[in-house]
Amino acid sequence: MSTRPAAPITSASPIRFSDPLPAEVDVVVVGGGVIGIMSALYLNRLGLKVFVCEKGRVAGEQSSRNWGWIRQIGRDEAELPVMMEASRLWEQLDIETGRRTGFSRSGILYLSSTQKDLDEQARWLDIAARHQLDVRLLDSAGVADVVDSGPGGRRWAGGLWSPTDARAEPWVAVPTVAELAQGEGVGIREACAARTFDTAAGRIAGVDTEHGFIKAGQVIVAGGAWSSLLLGRHGVSIPQLSVRSTVTRTAAMAEIFAGCALDEELAFRRREDGGYSLSSLGTHDLMIGPDAFRHLRTWLPVAVKSLGATRFLPFAPRHYPDAWATARNWSKDEETPFERCRVLEPEPERRRIEPARARFAARFPALGAPEVTHAWAGLIDAMPDVVPVVDRVPGLEGLIVATGMSGHGFGIGPGFGKAIAHLAAGRPTGHDLTRFRFSRFTDGSRLVPGPSL
């Protein structure tokens, strides 16, 4: 059993990456989460000189606070080819890092409590077939063969089973890949906020950081929940909002399933340390701020669909990206919001910890009530159609945006990272990225929300 950390990275975590600022690189990556680190790794492998600026800690925010699922099943069909490549890349990266990411191809199971739910899940089989993905529909007996709910345990009507899906340990995997990238020549610096972009004749000329200037012809903004704030400072608007999600960690216990699973109320994942990560489904928190009002019209289709599952909070904590008092404009010579809040560490929603524990206990009563050892929350950078923006920004040559992963970024990180690297290098990405284009919010297109899980 692993003795490695089983909790997210925080502002108290020691700085691990402190490379000196270069005078010039080909590409500056803003954000040391999974998307930024993967983009930097593959940029370097294409022969470009790259430097990553992370205002806090590598993977300190959602990249170490997510569920740890590496999921192909249930994806938006436009994401699926990228995700299928990401799954292969995760396995390759695990080998390259000496099996240090926690990668395990232990499967993902979407459980259904009723035949109606199972019939709805079965509709995704058509997408799986089009992409030759091994996904199967299980009946109740088939589920019992995969998940050992024990005497008196929950019996589901069936489930959608993806045996080739995987899991990893986010708080370990992303810094481990960052070490791999650094060892291959990528510069990475934590506690290094990117303040402003320097431009000349309508194109990127470099980045002003809190520690000095880096000359560069391209910038990739992969700042997660902070992307919209940084872009807005430069006149670039995207309808990105952030929602809070809470995760609970149990102590080590007997294994009832080695992979990841969810039903209508609960998601759970086996961890390397022998415990489970739990999350109650059906609810999330939206902290109201200026961006929430500004983008209300664009968000209405999703808001109406999920209104009952959204708890609206009147304000975000001080210094958060969409807090009422957070500055929207600043100069390259003054402290920015990114320095005032190095790592987003939202308080977990306490009212969701006990329900997750109780739901797990009710499904697997033979295990007894699990011991909760830790709980945390993260702010998920979300877009109104539940798919990201991965594109060049029109009107500002050299600026690429890769954000709004909508809670799906960890698993798909290597796939989008490789595609972003090819985009920056002027090479074919190997994927159709039309659905993720920057202009979809302004070109009159009807937004079609993808699946939220």
Residue 39's pLDDT band (cuts 50, 70, 90): very high
Which segments within 222-366 are labelled E, that is strand? 241-250, 260-262, 266-270, 276-280, 284-287, 310-313
Q: Which CATH class is domain 27-107+164-441?
A: alpha beta
- Is residue 170 scored above 90 in pLDDT? yes
> What pLDDT does residue 1 have?
40
Comparing CA positions, the residue from 436, 278, 258 lying closest to residue 360 is: 278
The average pLDDT across 78-100 equals 98
Query: How far apart are alpha carbons 411 and 69 in whole angstroms?
Result: 6
Most distant CA pair in the chain, distance: 70
> What pLDDT does residue 329 have?
97
Q: List the beta bridge partners of residue 260.
A: 108, 269
Helix (H) or strand (E) holding 174: helix 170-183
Two structure tokens written together for 68: 């740890």
Strands 389-392, 194-200: pairing is unpaired
pLDDT digits over 246-273, tens only?
A: 999 999 999 999 999 999 999 999 999 9
- Is residue 2 scored above 60 in pLDDT? no
As to burial, measured by CB atoms within 10 angstroms (0-12 exposed, 13-18 middle, 19+ buried), residue 160 is buried
Domain boundaries, the chain: 27-107+164-441
The average pLDDT across 177-202 equals 98
**pTM for the whole thing?**
0.96
As to burial, measured by CB atoms within 10 angstroms (0-12 exposed, 13-18 middle, 19+ buried), residue 372 is middle
pLDDT digits over 302-327, tens only?
A: 665 654 467 778 888 899 999 999 99
Compute CA distances 282 → 71, 353, 447, whole Å: 19, 14, 22
DSSP string, 136-160: EEEEHHHHHHHS---TT----SEEE
Query: How far apart are alpha carbons 327 and 451 in whole angstroms?
Result: 33
Query: How far apart are alpha carbons 36 and 403 in whole angstroms?
Result: 10
- Is residue 292 scored above 90 in pLDDT? no
